[in-house]
Structure formats: structure tokens, C-alpha cells
Amino acid sequence: MASRRRIEESAWVADVEKAVADVHASAEESARWRRHSIYRVPACIKDLNCKAYQPQVVSLGPFHHGEPHLRPMDAHKRRSLVHFLRRARRPLSEFAAAVGDAVERLEGAYQGLGDEWRGGERFLELMVTDGCFLLEVMRTANRREVNDYADDDPVFSAHGLLYTVPYIRRDMLMIENQLPLLVLDRLLAVESGKEGNEELINGMVLRFLSPAAWPLVTGVGLALHPLDVLRRSLLYGPTPGPQAPPEESAPPDDIIRSAEELYEAGVRFKRSQTSSLLDIRFRNGTLYLPPIAVDDTTEYMLLNLMAFERLHTGAGNDVTAYVFFMDNMVDSARDVALLTARRVVQNTVGSDKAAAKLFSGLSRDVVLGPQSPLDDVHREVNAYCRKRRNRWRANLVHTYFRSPWSFLSLAAAVFLLAMTIMQTLYTVLQFYGDNS
């Protein structure tokens, strides 16, 4: 009895019972989770490729602030703040007050934000400083708005744009290194004296992250952060249309064939009309794929976009489905060479083998939703490959046309068969000619 009484009076039991009685706790938890948009990558994901989630030059936001290898950029951040204020001709207190009005939402954007960042000036100072730095970097890259930095400035000059800014651009792709675009919105509202800068900010970030200026969906308000801007632009465009259902009598086929195997079965590849990752279609034996540039930042970009989809409820799995689709399409250097020849892949990482290795490492431990947007395309392609004439074609090509020696052997066999037939015909004709 004494033991039971001690348990009933323990602090742990009292705390849990209080939580059970609090009917508002679940609603508060749900509201807090909805505010999250910037996450720490779990170890089960990060351990596969730690470098892909680690900023190399600059920290944005609190998660990597103060790390030794990122501290040299802090002096440049402070300097950019001074330039920004001097040009804006408004006191720092106005900008701090505007950002401070949204500080609760900004703190809520970071999942697992430490107590040392909450409810004090430290977080507000970080948001204003990093926000001004980001605006200055993007405006300098635009080369039309900022011109009050020295010609030998290590960051905000032509030299800095060539050697430093590309690393800043890559660090802006890290899911742990994001800054809410709400900060930029508040800063621009004070600087310009007007509200409603959402589309301006989205466009500025996109032009900086993607000089090729992929289309950006408009009319949906301010994006969450730079990575969200990039994701929206990559998915902007036509969605996969309804595919013709495969034959009902066909057996289930979960095989995902490589590009070379599909080509051997008669599938042809063409470049889609848009760069949207959703613009993948299969029509009349032709697979249309959006173009993708494979460079030094592609791996970082796709891995962080997939991590965002995995961690952010409601984000969907469109980028993950695309990566899974392409990883299965590209098994070897020959697949990369085939897609490069069709202008689907623009390979700037070196050899075709290096590009194939990049794709093969993207979908390790990938969790794909049960309703992938590319399931219909997959079924349509498999239904086409199951047709008898396409299977025969694939076997013929795979057996006799994979190498020059196989082709020469086939040609020699056909030549010998033709000569044998001609000799037989000649013998028969001569026999009947002699007896006539």
C-alpha cells in the first residue's frame, strides 16, 4: 500500500495526469507544428551524406550560427547591415520594431529552437542582420541596385561575385540554413514604405538561386524560405495528365527499367516543353522528360528538397517522386549518355559515370508515398514494354546490337544464310535447266 501511495504522489504521475486532463494541449501542439517550416535533419538522413546538409561559408538563422568555420562571414554580415541602413536612411530601430512584431511567428518557424534564442534580443538581432545580409547579397548579384561597395570588397564586388557568392548561393539551399522570407518582407516594408512585397521577394530570391530564371508560380503569397521558392519554381507547370490504363489482363509488373533498357524496347526520349519536374508524360512510345542540369549543386539541391518534403507536413512528395523515377532510369554511364544525347540531361560534373553515380546516391532510404504522381507514367511505360513485339525487339537489340562484335556475328550469320539460299536456288535452277 505504501508503495502504491508513493507512486500516486510522484511528480511524474502528477505531470502526466495533468497533461491528460488538459483538453487544449493537442490543439496547441497542432498549432505549433503548423508554424514549423525549417527543420534539423535527423541523423538517419544526415548520416548518408553529412556534407549535403552542412553550410560551408555562411550561417543563416540560428541552427548553425557561431560555428567556427562560419564565423569569418559574421564581420561581413555586420558590414552589410551598415551599408543597408546608410542607403535606406532610416534608423535601425524601425527595422527592428517591424521584425519584432513578427518575432513569435519567426521563432515558431524553427523546429526545436533552443531556449537561448527565445524571448530575447539575440534572436531579433540575428533575424535583422541575416535578413539585411541576404538582401545585400542578392541585390549585389543583380548588379543594378547596389553600387556603394569598394571594388576590392571580398564579398560585394565583381571578385566576390565570382569566388564567394556561389558558395553563399549553395548554402542557401540547406534546409537547416534557411531564413524565413517574412524577415525580408518586414525589412522591405520599412525600407520602401509600402506593404505587399511578396511577389518581389519571391522573384528576387529565385533570380539569385537560379540565374536561368525558372518560372515561379504567382498569386500564392510569400514563400516560406528560399528553399521553398526554389521548390515552387521546379514544380511550376503542367501536372501529369491522365494516362491510358494498362491492359486489364496484363500481369502486375513492378519492374522499373533503365533508360537503355527502355530504348532497346522501342521507347524514345524527348525533352519536355517545360522545366517543371511534373512535366513527365508518355505518349505513343515516347517518354517526355524535363531537362535537368547536373552540376556541383544538383546533389545538394535535390537532397535538401527531399528532406523538406519528408519533414514538412503537407509539402507532398513531388520532388522525391521525380528523384526516385530518375534514379531508376539512370543505372549506368550509358543511360546518362543516352539522356544527354536527347538533351534531357546537361552534364557538367565530368564523366557520364560521375553523373550516374550522383543519381544512384540520391534515393537511398527514400520513402515514397503510396500515391506517387508518376505512378501512371510508370504503368504506361511498363504496359508498352510488355507488348510482344516490343519484348522481341528488346531481346534482339540486347543480344545482337549491344556491341560491334555481336552485330558483326549477326551480319556474318545473315550473310552465310543468304549465300546458302542463293547456292541452293542456283543448284535447283541448274538441275531443272539441264533436264529441260
User: pLDDT per residue over 217-228, tens digit each?
Assistant: 666 789 999 999
Do 185 and 119 lie in a common domain? yes
For the chain, the distance separating the N- and C-terminal CA atoms, rounded to the nearest angstrom, is 124
Mean pLDDT of the chain: 83
Do 380 and 409 lie in a common domain? no
pLDDT band at 395 (very low <50, low <70, confident <90, very high): very low
Do 82 and 204 lie in a common domain? yes
Q: Which structural domain range is residue 417 located in? A: 403-434
**Grid coordinates given for 99:** 521584425
pLDDT band at 407 (very low <50, low <70, confident <90, very high): very low
Do 203 and 230 lie in a common domain? yes
Choose among 60, 64, 36, 66: nearest CA to 50.
Answer: 64
| 244 located within any domain | no
| 429 located within any domain | yes
Do 127 and 162 lie in a common domain? yes
Choose among 228, 253, 186, 389: nearest CA to 316.
Answer: 228
Q: What digits encode the pLDDT tens for the residues 44-57? A: 889 888 899 999 99
Do 173 and 263 lie in a common domain? no
pLDDT of residue 30: 63
Do 413 and 363 lie in a common domain? no
Q: Which amino acid is residue 288, in one-letter code?
A: Y
The DSSP code for 89 is T
| 245 located within any domain | no
Q: In what order do the strands lie in the sheet with 268-271?
A: 268-271, 286-289, 281-283
| 252 located within any domain | no
Do 284 and 330 lie in a common domain? yes
**Grid coordinates given for 180:** 524565413
**Average pLDDT of span 11-20:** 73
- Going by C-beta distance under 8 Å and a sequence separation of 6 or more, which residues neighbour residue 278? 235, 237, 238, 239, 240, 318, 322, 373
> How far apart (Å, rounded) are the C-alpha atoms in residues 381 and 262?
8
pLDDT of residue 240: 54
| 242 located within any domain | no
> How far apart (Å, rounded) are the C-alpha atoms in residues 279 and 242?
12
Angle at CA 189, nearest 5°, toward 184 and 195? Answer: 115
Report which secondary-structure segment, H or E, holds 158: helix 158-163
More confident residue, 401 or 357: 357
Report which secondary-structure segment, H or E, holds 130: helix 121-142
Q: Please say which residue of 234, 251, 286 terminates a domain.
A: 234
pLDDT band at 29 (very low <50, low <70, confident <90, very high): low
Do 339 and 386 lie in a common domain? yes
> How far apart (Å, rounded) are the C-alpha atoms in residues 344 and 268?
12
Do 61 and 180 lie in a common domain? yes
pLDDT of residue 148: 85
Report which secondary-structure segment, H or E, holds 33: helix 25-35
| 241 located within any domain | no
Do 224 and 365 lie in a common domain? no
Split into its structural domains, the chain has a count of: 4
pLDDT exceeds 90 at position 384: no
> How far apart (Å, rounded) are the C-alpha atoms in residues 368 and 351?
29
pLDDT exceeds 80 at position 66: yes
pLDDT exceeds 60 at position 250: no
- Residue 26 bridge partners (DSSP): none
| 142 located within any domain | yes
pLDDT of residue 178: 98
Chain centroid to Cα 10, Å, comes to 49
| 228 located within any domain | yes
Do 293 and 155 lie in a common domain? no
Count CB neighbours of 184 within 10 A.
Answer: 27
pLDDT of residue 131: 97
**Average pLDDT of span 253-267:** 80
**Grid coordinates given for 85:** 541602413
**Average pLDDT of span 275-301:** 92
pLDDT band at 251 (very low <50, low <70, confident <90, very high): very low
